[in-house]
């Protein structure tokens, strides 16, 4: 379901998205993949340093700039202190100057009064988190309220947001995901879908946040990528969090396309050759193997194109859309076929 406030950018994403059928004779328009970079965890590492590094290295700024409302991996005495949205002022400025924000959530674990981001929980504990009458359920609601306060600030400034909650759910490292390596747990998957829908309904129905484009992004290096999918009514963009040694060998692209939503590399970067990885190979892989890609967002300063090779090739490629090239802060730029 496309939210009315975000329709303009949704249409643009759909025009350049996986909606086109693939064939041997498909000719794709140039300037169709939005660049993106992660700015850091709000109030801890977030800054505009990454944009500046990329602009110095390439002459361009990323079309998408990311902030995580979770304050890194900090433990807190009050779980709501784990949420911070002071990066909003920078995201608003970025939007008004032709960029698009992505907000992610490394969400604290409501099973505990403090952080415990990577502490595994049982399915019984998961159920308590989903129950608003429990202590755990009230902690979740307090977290969601504060997150919504931050997103409301962005809405009030007219900002459309790529919103990426509960990512990498098919991995075993976050409390909301699986508890064992590639061990399918159908009850766990069902609980995840219930949690995702609870967050969606709270943000959209209770808080009226129609400025969000919802991004579903499993991990490329684990199985069960589509098993956790909550349904087309709750997702606008399907993506992969992909860390790779060979960008031509990323797993899951066809699975994501089968969900018939725009596709993105919502979090990405090299897992080998860090510091010497050539991003020219990555954009060539997108063009040749993943041509339905709508955007990529590189994660972490060490994985940045500015800290590796081929930054110019990536940002100056004829397929890449950079800041100001799809949106100038006032009007959308038409995408020509």
So which residues are the catalytic ones? 168, 267
Q: What gap in Å lies between CA 165 and CA 150, rounded to an integer? A: 14
Find where tokens 């997103």 sit. Answer: 151
283, 314 contact by CB (below 8 A): yes
Q: What gap in Å lies between CA 138 and CA 143, rounded to an integer? A: 9
Find where tokens 């194109």 sit. Answer: 305
Let me know if 172 is exposed, middle or buried by CB neighbors in 10 A (0-12, 13-18, 19+): middle
Query: Residues near 318 by Cβ (< 8 Å), separated by ≥ 6?
Result: 30, 31
CA distances from 303 to 165, 222, 245, 246, 276 (A): 22, 21, 12, 14, 10
Q: What gap in Å lies between CA 136 and CA 97, rounded to an integer? A: 40
Taking the CA atoms of residue 59, residue 64, residue 69 and residue 72 in that order, the dihedral angle to the nearest 10 degrees is -50
241, 268 contact by CB (below 8 A): yes
Please report which residue ranges of the chain form alpha helices under DSSP H: 7-15, 49-58, 88-96, 123-130, 135-156, 186-201, 253-257, 279-289, 311-315
Q: What gap in Å lies between CA 55 and CA 151, rounded to an integer? A: 27
């Amino acid at each position: 379901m496309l939210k009315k406030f975000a329709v303009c950018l949704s249409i643009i994403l759909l025009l350049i998205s996986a909606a086109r059928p693939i064939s041997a004779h498909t000719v794709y328009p140039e300037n169709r993949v939005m660049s993106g970079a992660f700015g850091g965890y709000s109030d801890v590492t977030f800054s505009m340093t990454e944009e500046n590094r990329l602009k110095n290295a390439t002459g361009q700024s990323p079309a998408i700039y990311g902030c995580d409302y979770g304050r890194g991996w900090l433990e807190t005495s009050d779980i709501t202190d784990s949420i911070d949205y002071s990066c909003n002022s920078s995201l608003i400025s970025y939007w008004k100057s032709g960029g698009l924000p992505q907000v992610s959530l490394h969400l604290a674990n409501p099973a505990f009064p403090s952080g415990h981001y990577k502490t595994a929980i049982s399915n019984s504990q998961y159920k308590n988190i989903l129950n608003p009458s429990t202590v755990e359920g009230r902690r979740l609601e307090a977290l969601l309220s504060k997150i919504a306060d931050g997103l409301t600030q962005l809405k009030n400034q007219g900002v459309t947001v790529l919103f990426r909650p509960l990512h990498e759910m098919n991995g075993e490292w976050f409390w909301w995901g699986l508890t064992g390596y590639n061990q399918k747990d159908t009850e766990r998957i069902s609980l995840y879908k219930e949690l995702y829908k609870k967050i969606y309904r709270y943000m959209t129905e209770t808080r009226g946040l129609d400025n969000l484009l919802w991004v579903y992004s499993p991990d490329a290096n684990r199985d069960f990528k589509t098993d956790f999918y909550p349904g087309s009514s709750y997702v606008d963009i399907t993506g992969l969090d992909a860390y790779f040694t060979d960008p031509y060998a990323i797993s899951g692209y066809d699975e994501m396309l089968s969900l018939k939503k725009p596709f993105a590399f919502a979090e990405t970067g090299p897992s080998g050759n860090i510091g010497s990885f050539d991003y020219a190979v990555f954009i060539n892989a997108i063009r040749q193997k993943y041509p339905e890609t709508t955007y990529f967002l590189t994660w972490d300063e060490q994985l940045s194109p500015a800290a590796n090779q081929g930054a110019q090739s990536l940002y100056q490629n004829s397929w890449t859309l950079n800041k100001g090239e799809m949106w100038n802060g006032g009007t959308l730029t038409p995408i020509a076929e």
